[in-house]
Amino acid sequence: MITDKRTLVVGNWKMHLTVHQASLLVHRLNQNIQLHRSVEVVLAPSMLSLQPTSQEIDRRKFGLAAQDAYYEDEGGYTGEVSFAMISGIVDYVIVGHSARRIYFGETLETVKHKVKAAVRNGIVPIICVGETKEERRAKQTKQVLHDQVTTAVMDLTSRDIEQVVIAYEPIWAISAYDGEAARPEDVEKAVKYIRFQIEELYGRKAAERIRVIYGGSVDDHSAKAFLRVDGVDGVLPGAASLNYRQFTGIVEAAYQVQTEIRAKDDKK
């Protein structure tokens, strides 16, 4: 990990919380989360809660992300909200989350257009990639990551690429609190492979600078193990981000791991 990078913690609230409930959670988070310069904390509420949340969050402590947006800037796309419409409100947008790919038929092409639209509108895309259980069993993880990563970033310049965040989210490990969890060694291998793809396309500097984070059943107990994995620059918790105690615990874990890594680097 390059230690001048801030650790990124992104809470994906998915399709949970009314505007009122979101506001209560923000109130708790404002009260409980400490400001750490080495940790960047981002909240991803529903589209409906984005605007009120943007006015309620302590901006020194929190950034804001949308969970999705549409790639055309405007037009007759009933029901959609564009990247252009949310630029100025959000810093990040989650793109290609497995829920979008599975339930809403998003293809590699769709994700590519969304990544491009995010960058065009000055928003950092958090590109989610990861294999299904079947693909893992069939030992296709590398092929899947290759296809997802290379298509998603295809239209980006070498300047754009360093801004992008890639989230490794193995689908079999999402919401798997009672099931099979990813092991740090699985995550390390996948993250290394993702950086290798970026290096092949954009060179070593870009591969080192791009932020790669992990998501899949991360909570306040497991966060440190994932954050200590070489090459992991942050975490993307879903369910645990809806609980202010757990989310606060994850942010504190990120701060402690950053402090450990910085102390080690200083001794070198």
Which residues are identified as catalytic? 97, 169
Q: How far is CA 51 from the centre of its chain?
A: 20
Q: Nearest residue to ligand PEP, using CB?
A: 238
Kindly indicate which of the ranges 61-69, 82-90, 108-116, 237-245 contains the residues binding ligand PEP, using the contact rule CB under 6 A. 237-245
C-alpha 133/C-alpha 50 separation (Å) is 33
Q: What is the DSSP letter of 239?
A: G
Rounded to 5°, the CA angle 100-102-104 comes to: 50
Which position among 1, 7, 12, 244 is part of the footprint of ligand PEP (CB under 6 A)? Answer: 12
**Tokens 């750490």 belong to which residue?**
36
Kindly indicate which of the ranges 15-23, 30-38, 144-152, 230-238 contains the residues binding ligand PEP, using the contact rule CB under 6 A. 230-238
Residue 94, amino acid = I
- Comparison of 115 and 240: residue with beta carbon closer to ligand PEP: 240
Kindly indicate which of the ranges 77-85, 113-121, 136-144, 233-241 contains the residues binding ligand PEP, using the contact rule CB under 6 A. 233-241
- Comparison of 96 and 238: residue with beta carbon closer to ligand PEP: 238
Residues 56-59: contacts with CB within 8 Å, 24+ apart? 56/23, 56/26, 56/27, 56/30, 57/26, 57/29, 57/30, 58/30
Residue 179, amino acid = G
Smallest distance from the beta carbon of 117 to ligand PEP, in angstroms? 21
Please report which helix (H) or strand (E) contains residue 235, including its range.
Answer: strand 234-235
Which position among 125, 170, 237, 249 is part of the footprint of ligand PEP (CB under 6 A)? Answer: 237
- Comparison of 144 and 174: residue with beta carbon closer to ligand PEP: 174
Q: Any contact of residue 63 with ligand PEP (CB under 6 A)?
A: no
Which position among 50, 93, 174, 250 is part of the footprint of ligand PEP (CB under 6 A)? Answer: 174
Smallest distance from the beta carbon of 169 to ligand PEP, in angstroms? 5
Q: Give start and end residues of each alpha helix (H) in the chain.
A: 19-32, 47-56, 83-86, 98-103, 108-120, 133-137, 141-153, 158-161, 184-202, 204-209, 223-227, 244-267
Write each residue from 189 to 218 as x if it is in contact with ligand PEP (CB under 6 A), else as -, in one continuous string. --------------------------xxxx
Rounded to 5°, the CA angle 217-31-17 comes to: 50
**Chain residues in the site for ligand PEP (CB under 6 A):** 12, 14, 169, 174-175, 215-218, 236-240
